[in-house]
Amino acid sequence: MAPIEFTKMNGCGNDFILIDNRDCRLEESQLPALVTGICRRGLSVGADGVILIEPSAQADFRWRFFNADGSPGEMCGNGARCAARFAVLHGIAGRELRFETAAGLITARVEGMQVRVNLTDPGELTLDRPLSLSGGEWRVATVNTGVPHVIARVPDVDALDVVAIGREIRRHPDFAPAGTNANFISMDAAGAILIRTYERGVEDETLACGTGAAAGALVAAETLGAASPVRLRTRSGEVLTVHFSRRGGRFCDLLQEGPARLVFTGRLHEEAWR
């Protein structure tokens, strides 16, 4: 197979491999092995996911998003910002654009490295839901911000074993069979909102999760009195800003802004995924 040109980008440390597949040259049968192969850290490029940019009849482009384990994802906030900037850098779209995802049409505005994207209106936010874990009962919130999320307020996210607890929540029978992402938020001494996320599909903690930050912002609004826009400091130390409105007792007009960093470009050879 001929080498495949790719771009490596990240949003607040949540990293992705982006491939321009508008000529649809990648065969469907190849994709599972390709995605899992090139996302391996150490053995290949390494990433939390892969984004394919493809033709769309209703928008500037269509994306297909794959988690590192090869599973398709409906939406990814950090990935959406990277895809939008990729499209501008490659002349696929202008600075104001829209693209097609499995979660619906997404609009974006690109200002250099900073990108703002709309997210689909969230599902119903449920607060104070009991959840039985091996260490006892937790009280959590749940909301779908393009993908399902559980959000738990904790005294100190830095003191938490996010991988162990996040993995248990992710695979909890209450959320079967699809599973869920698990997010943990707290406030530091200066009043900043901190967030850490265990991501379904990556099956590990990531340095940031865009849709998770959106979910965390809505919980902070309901339980901490935070007003829009809400700024959340991710595990990478970078900040995601979430805007929202309320209408009819529900959250709407969800927007997220943050960096979409261009890291490097290159060519993938078959050895990268074999």
Catalytic positions, written as ranges: 76, 209
3-state DSSP call for residue 22?
coil
The CA distance from 139 to 236, in Å, is 26
Please report where in the chains the tokens 């619906």 appear, as a residue: 104
Tell me whether the omega of the peptide bond preceding residue 229 falls within 30 degrees of 0, making it cis: yes
* Cβ within 8 Å of residue 49, ≥6 positions away: 16, 17, 39, 65, 66, 67, 68, 73, 76, 79, 201, 202
- Return the closest-CA partner of residue 198 out of 133, 243, 244: 133
Which residue, chain included where needed, has tokens 């912002």? 217
Strand pairing category for 261-268 and 4-11: antiparallel
Query: Would you mind telling me the total number of residues written for the chain in this entry?
Result: 274
Q: Do 232 and 153 meet the contact criterion of CB atoms below 8 Å apart?
A: no
